[in-house]
Structure 1
Amino acid sequence: MDVVLELTDTFIADYVYAYAHPLKSAAPYDYLDVANNSTAQPLSSWQFKTSNPYFPVEPSKYAYMSAWDRDNVYRQGITLFLITWIFGFILYFVFATLSYLFVFDKKTMEHPKYLKNQMWLEIKQANRAMPVMSLLTTPCWLLEIRGYTKMYSTPADGPGLWYEILQYPLFILFTDAMIYLIHRGLHHPLIYKRLHKPHHKWIMPTPYASHAFHPVDGFAQSLPYHIYPMLFPLNKFASVGLFVFVNFWTIMIHDGEYVANSPVINGAACHTMHHLYFNYNYGQYTTFWDRLGRSYRKPDDSLFEKEKKMSEDQWKKQVKEMEKMVKEVEGVDDRSYDPHGTKKNN
């Protein structure tokens, strides 16, 4: 995240902080004098040291003109919060919209358990949650950029070239195990209705449900991504790529396109089983931990047959068992379902 922060500072934040919180001094600041005269003193004692060994970008004079230089923890916290919120929103909205337009099966909106105005409700909930999730995530980013993790910049700084490949499956294995435990814990009766139920409002989710969480729930399930580099080495550029991948995967398992008929991959079909029947398939990427924890439910084979996937018989079967599970897990079903014929108004 320090690379993302450095680029944001260079092209946006330096100018904003120089204007909003300028450094007070009686002497005028001449950037060219500082660059060409070794005796000239800049207003700020901060010195630029790049976090990006591959394509460093020299800061402008505005980097030296704020009372909060780039190393100021308050400035870093504010900027990281805004990066997480804005960048997260862009990832969510762009990928979810692309998924909705080109992948999502629109017939899902005719399912008897599709909610009234559901897609709009999903978007509203996601956008209410994102700033709070971003605020909770900011201390994790601060720990990272201030050197409290095992992040490294180049292969020469890491364990070795072999690790540049191995870190990806290790990251997936670690986070998959941690998310399984956290997610299953969120289904405990003392926790479920307080934190996790808002995400289970969506029985037949659209891609926009991917980030429609209670903010504490969303943050809790993201914690493994921040814990991993505290315990194990992780290339900082791989970390940014994995952050994008995680958001993409979260959308993909809510897109209703049942492609991965695999006993190993926890794809959209497996995750649909979780939304329909609650107490199964807690894993994020694989079915391994669900199998080990005896919470795996194999998706019906008919889900992978286009003509049967959205059939009335399939829906009746799903509704019957889903209503039984709702009574067991939640008691009263307080959702407002979309009456037949109004789906297109969403």
Structure 2
Amino acid sequence: MHPILEIFIKIFSISAVHYFVIAGLPFIVFYKFLTNWFANNKIQKREADIKDFKREILHSMQTTAVLVVIGYLALYTPLKNHTLIYTDLNAYPSWWITASLVISLVIHDTYFYWMHRLLHHKKLFKLAHLVHHQSTNPSPWSSYSFHFIEAWTEGAVLFIIIFLIPVHPLTVMLFTVIGFMINVYGHLGYEIAPKQLRNSFLFEVLNTSVHHNLHHSKFKGNYGLYFRVWDRLMGTEHPDYVKEYDRIQQNRFGTNLQQAADQSEA
């Protein structure tokens, strides 16, 4: 077997396992074993069909293959010599692993917001992004369910990161795994954010499962990935977001969180 093909198969196998574990475990918990337990957490009451799950998994395997190719190009080809990737852990302070991870997520969120808005252009939407929006009621399996073209645009952020900031391969791995975990939460179909989030500063900054679910059900607004910042700055956050979030949390906790927040301020 050709060495390149051998490396591809190895990395693809690992990535596929990551997909089925990180997306599969929440799916089993929320959609199979504890569905009734989490009934009040469900954002949309209608159920997705098994055909949707199969389509999402098929497209996700295609996306996984594309992301593996992008990772291979970045880490295992001469391109690496022109990037800021470093392999000596002593080249930078140990805290830089965490710092570079956080910076990578911020870069990704900015890239994703503007790329995502571009994909909603009428022509590009029909050409590529429509595949992802077939999941009007998203599940964890839809997290990587992209058209072949969109898979490349999604993964291309890695090239931007490795040319902008020094990153260790460990950071790249953490970025991939943690980014996907957050993506699964956004597509979970259930809201699991703690009650305390609503009255904290973090609510003004972070996205939630409700936030991205509204994007799938309404087809516009809420273009951000990890944060609400760009949507709020650009006026693209869906006007019903906070009201919808409060509705779900009221179903979960039995209290009107907005009224509670107003009373605490008073």
Same fold flag (TM > 0.5): yes
CA contact (8 A) 1:115 1:202 kept: no
CA–CA distance in 2 between the matches of 1:79 and 1:119?
29
- Return the letter of the residue paired with 2:130: K
Classify the secondary structure of the residue corresponding to 1:151.
coil
CA–CA distance in 2 between the matches of 1:194 and 1:258?
31
Matched, 1:185 2:118: yes
Q: Which residue of structure 2 lines up, in the alignment, with residue 274 of structure 1? A: 215
CA–CA distance in 2 between the matches of 1:180 and 1:215?
19
CA contact (8 A) 1:129 1:212 kept: yes
Matched, 1:243 2:176: yes
CA contact (8 A) 1:186 1:196 kept: yes
How far apart are residue 135 of structure 1 and its match? 3.9
Structure number with higher helix proportion: 2
Q: Which residue of structure 2 lines up, in the alignment, with residue 284 of structure 1? A: 225
Q: Which residue of structure 1 lines up, in the alignment, with residue 76 of structure 2? A: 142
Q: Which residue of structure 1 lines up, in the alignment, with residue 247 of structure 2? A: 302
CA–CA distance in 2 between the matches of 1:110 and 1:161?
43
- Return the letter of the residue paired with 1:178: Y
How far apart are residue 253 of structure 1 and its match? 1.2
| Structure possessing the higher radius of gyration over alpha carbons | 1
Q: Which residue of structure 2 lines up, in the alignment, with residue 227 of structure 1? A: 160
Deviations 1:67-119 (A, max 9, x none): xxxxxxxx3x4344323422221111111111112245746698447346322
Deviations 1:126-170 (A, max 9, x none): 234433454455433434774232122345312x45534422321
Relative to structure 2, which stretch is displaced further, 190-199 or 235-244?
Answer: 235-244
CA contact (8 A) 1:281 1:296 kept: yes
- Unaligned runs of at least 5 residues, structure 2: 255-266
Matched, 1:256 2:189: yes
Within the candidate set 97, 100, 106, 2:27 is matched to 100
RCO higher in structure (CA 8 A, sep ≥6): 2
- Percent pairwise identity: 22
- Return the letter of the residue paired with 1:190: K
Superposed, 1:1-346 pairs within 5 Å as 20=1, 75=3, 77-103=4-30, 106=35, 111-112=45-46, 114-115=48-49, 117-135=51-69, 138-143=72-77, 146-158=80-92, 160-161=93-94, 163-260=96-193, 261=198, 262-297=203-238, 298-299=241-242, 300=244, 301-306=246-251
How far apart are residue 177 of structure 1 and its match? 0.5
CA–CA distance in 1 between the matches of 2:169 and 2:79?
10
CA–CA distance in 2 between the matches of 1:173 and 1:109?
27
CA contact (8 A) 1:143 1:149 kept: no
Name the count of aligned residue pairs. Answer: 235
How far apart are residue 266 of structure 1 and its match? 1.2
- Return the letter of the residue paired with 2:230: W
- Return the letter of the residue paired with 1:207: P
Relative to structure 2, which stretch is displaced further, 84-93 or 180-189?
Answer: 84-93
CA contact (8 A) 1:137 1:219 kept: no
CA contact (8 A) 1:302 1:308 kept: no
Classify the secondary structure of the residue corresponding to 1:279.
coil
- TM-score by structure 1 length? 0.60
Q: Which residue of structure 1 lines up, in the alignment, with residue 263 of structure 2? A: none
- Unaligned runs of at least 5 residues, structure 1: 1-19, 22-74, 310-346
CA contact (8 A) 2:132 2:145 kept: yes
- TM-score by structure 2 length? 0.77
CA–CA distance in 2 between the matches of 1:100 and 1:239?
26
